Amino acid sequence: MGLITGLLTLPIAPIRGVAWVAEQVREEAERQWSDPAVIEAALIDIEAMRESGEIDDDEADIREEELLQRLLAASPEQGQRLDSWEEMDE
């Protein structure tokens, strides 16, 4: 509760300032960009829209592909594994 109260009184307390808030919001937005939970929820929405006919298959495919690439881009290990394989010296 203390944190929330602090944020609400922000305009009055100049110590952290607007720039700090803006930075937090930006970082949060970035985090959500490739958050697997967010991506999963978005994919489930697309599935529902596909089923209801709200979007057609091609459009759904395109959106799914975009989301998948965001997920893979955020996880370089996965991306690396998917693009190529290398033989390790034993």
Partner 1 sequence: MTVTQNRAPNRYLDRPAPSSLADVINTILDKGLVIDIYIRVSLVGIELLTIDARIVIASVDTYLRFAEAVGRLNLTETQTHGIPELMEDVTNSGAKGKTSGALEGAKDKLTDMLSGDDDEKDEQSSSKQRSGDGKQQSRQQSKES
Partner 2 sequence: MVVHLYGVTTADAPVPHELKGRRDTELRLVSDDELAVIVSDVDAGTPAGRKDLLAHAHVLEAYAERSTVVPMQFGIALPDDDSVRVQVLERDRDGLEHLLRSFDGLVQLTVQAFHHEEAALREILRRNPRLLSAREQMKAHPETVTPALQMELGQAVASALEDLQEDDRIMLLDRLAPLSRAVAENDANGNHEIVHAAFLVERDAQRQFDEAVGLLRTENDARMRLRYVGPQPPYNFLEPMKSGELSWA
> For residue 37, what are its two tokens?
């939970």
How many Å apart are CA 75 and CA 39, to the nearest integer?
Answer: 13
User: How many CB atoms neighbour CB 31 within 10 A?
Assistant: 11
Positions 3 through 22 that interact with partner 1 (CB under 8 A): 3-4, 7-8
The nearer residue to partner 2, 19 or 85, going by C-beta atoms, is: 85
Return residues touching partner 2 (CB under 8 A). Answer: 4-5, 8, 37, 40-41, 44, 48, 61, 64-65, 68, 72, 78, 81-85, 87
d(CA 66, CA 43): 10
Q: What angle do CA 4, 9, 12 make, to 5 degrees?
A: 160
* Contacts to partner 1 by CB under 8 A: 3-4, 7-8, 24-25, 27-28, 31, 34-36, 39-40, 43-44, 46-47, 64, 67-68, 71, 74-75, 77-78, 80-81, 85-88, 90
